[in-house]
Amino acid sequence: MQKKYIVRLEDDERETCREIVKRLKGTSQKVRRAQILWKADADGPAWTDRKIADAFSCRINTVENIRQGFVLDGFEQTLERKKRQTPPTEKLLDGEQEAKIIATRLGPPPRGYANWTLRLLARKVVELEIVDSISHETVRRTLKKTA
């Protein structure tokens, strides 16, 4: 089967792969990517995807994705871990809301209570209309960041 993405390493890239593999320099993922690129090099060993996957205990899709990344993104970006563009979850509170929660926490607790509890603070924040709804866990994380 004809490959869509063919890896052709230049001499300096091939030498970089050799150094990473020889010295185990970098993260384990970086070493594995260097091994795969080195063995997939059309001007070098030119191993098949199946042989590479068997040799390095990974899936064939992993080899194909690394090939594709090399052709589309380049050598350096394929070796290094891709940085996430957006956080996994959006922030629930902005800086002003966080400041108001902290200020509420620093104030005196309601009558009948010796200290603020997280649930009590969450109820008070909603009551003061700082936010529409909030969990005690979000309040805890907000306070923990400042502690």
Alpha-helical segments (H) within the chain: 11-23, 28-40, 49-55, 60-73, 75-79, 95-106, 118-127, 136-146
Within this chain, do residues 27 and 72 fall inside the same structural domain, yes or no?
A: yes
Tell whether 57 is covered by a domain: yes
What confidence score (pLDDT) does residue 147 get? 54
What confidence score (pLDDT) does residue 76 get? 93
Domain count, the chain: 2
Q: Which domain holds residue 104?
A: 95-146
What confidence score (pLDDT) does residue 1 get? 60
Within this chain, do residues 35 and 69 fall inside the same structural domain, yes or no?
A: yes
Query: Which tens digit of pLDDT belongs to each residue from 64-107?
Result: 999 999 999 999 999 997 778 888 888 889 999 999 999 999 99
Tell whether 136 is covered by a domain: yes
Q: Which of 51, 79, 107 is the last residue of a domain?
A: 79
Give the closest residue to 3 by CA, choosing from 47, 34, 59, 44. 47
Q: Once rounded to an integer, what is the mean pLDDT over residues 46-61?
A: 94
Tell whether 46 is covered by a domain: yes
Within this chain, do residues 66 and 18 fall inside the same structural domain, yes or no?
A: yes
Tell whether 1 is covered by a domain: no
Tell whether 128 is covered by a domain: yes
Within this chain, do residues 62 and 119 fall inside the same structural domain, yes or no?
A: no
Within this chain, do residues 47 and 20 fall inside the same structural domain, yes or no?
A: yes
What confidence score (pLDDT) does residue 87 get? 81
Tell whether 51 is covered by a domain: yes
Within this chain, do residues 59 and 100 fall inside the same structural domain, yes or no?
A: no
What confidence score (pLDDT) does residue 88 get? 86
Question: How many angstroms separate the CA atoms of 126 and 120, rounded?
Answer: 10
Tell whether 72 is covered by a domain: yes
